Homo-oligomer: A and B are copies of this chain.
Amino acid sequence: MENLDPNLTIAMLGEQQLLQFLQRFSPPDVVGDDGAILMPQPGHVLVVTTDMLVDGIHFCNRTTSPGDVGWRSAAANLSDLAAMGATPLGLTISLGLPASLPFVWLDQFYQGVADCLQTYGTAIVGGDVSRSPVLTVSMTALGEVLPHEQILRSTAQPGDAIVVTGPHGASRAGLEILLQPEWGQKFSPAERLALKQVHQRPRPRLDVLPILRQLTPHRAAGMDSSDGLADAILQICRASGVGAEIQESYLPLPASLQKVLPPHQAIEWTLYGGEDFELVLCLSPSAAQTLVEELNSTAMVVGHIMAGNEVSLRRLDGVKHPLSLQQGYQHFG
């Protein structure tokens, strides 16, 4: 909204005005009752995914504007739908708001959510606001998929090629540039902007789904790489009861990272950086080849699914090491 008084707080607004403001972001036909109404297409199953983000833990004002918090939260949920093969039907938002929160934060946050959802052809379909001492965002995304087009973690098969839909480590680098602007000077202005953009406005790979639907054979196992590329590969192998061999030489390192980081750190950020929101998909080698060609230069075959349960990384020197989660991010503890 224009000309917002920066001193206007949530407490000054009151609940009724707040709810009226929030309803402006939703299609008029889905809200106003105890629940929102959505119409899945016949024959589709429903996919539901949910996320909670807490101020100071999942985002902070230093690296993330309110609009970016909104975009990122929505994008993370849409990425979970993409990871299941599902097309978005809508998203609900529940907010815990400190009474002292400037209303302008909320306005920009909602604008960020709405921008992201509009980009991917969906909308806010309901929510709740509550008082809370800590700014808290909880989102639930709903999507639909035909049963035979579902992507599960548990259906990878020995012999499958593992396709990664884009570079990894860029979000981690973008965060570092935001936290340490001086370190960021190592990159060109265009590279800096691109890496920050990946962190602040990640793009869920819903664009991959129509390509997958055209492939023969049709089967794809997989998930998204929100918790890191290594995590995704290990989770798929565990769920499918298989092993994998990944080639270090095929890891999808962003070019700008290879230029600036020592090799071991570029590899580490690529495997463990997280929040790149790409898809990690296991397909027959021929389907994988077609997918990589359709996605142009952004996608890579990084390795193959193997029988057994050993997940290994073949280094440039040809030696195999177990792929571990050791450097992965742990939320608790």
Which residues of A approach B to under 8 Å, CB–CB? 10-11, 13-15, 18, 32-40, 42-43, 45-54, 56-58, 79-81, 83-84, 86, 89-90, 92-96, 99, 125-134, 136, 138, 140-143, 150, 152-154, 223-224, 239, 330-333
Contact = CB atoms under 8 A, between A and B. Distances in A.
Contact of A38 (B10, B46, B128, B223): B46
A136 B97 CA distance: 12
B18 A36 contact: no
Given A35-B83, A53-B130, A131-B332, 20 more contacts: A14-B332, A33-B239, A34-B223, A35-B80, A37-B46, A37-B47, A37-B150, A39-B46, A48-B92, A50-B126, A50-B127, A50-B138, A50-B140, A51-B94, A52-B138, A57-B132, A96-B136, A133-B134, A134-B136, A136-B138
Contacts of A153: 32-34
A187 to B, nearest CB: 31
Contacts of A81: 34-35
A307 to B, nearest CB: 22
Stoichiometry, as copies per complex, reads 2
A317 to B, nearest CB: 32
A272 to B, nearest CB: 16
A132 B58 CA distance: 10
A81 B37 CA distance: 11
Nearest to A223: B34
Given A58-B130, A134-B132, A142 B46 contact: yes
Contacts of A13: 332
Nearest to A51: B128
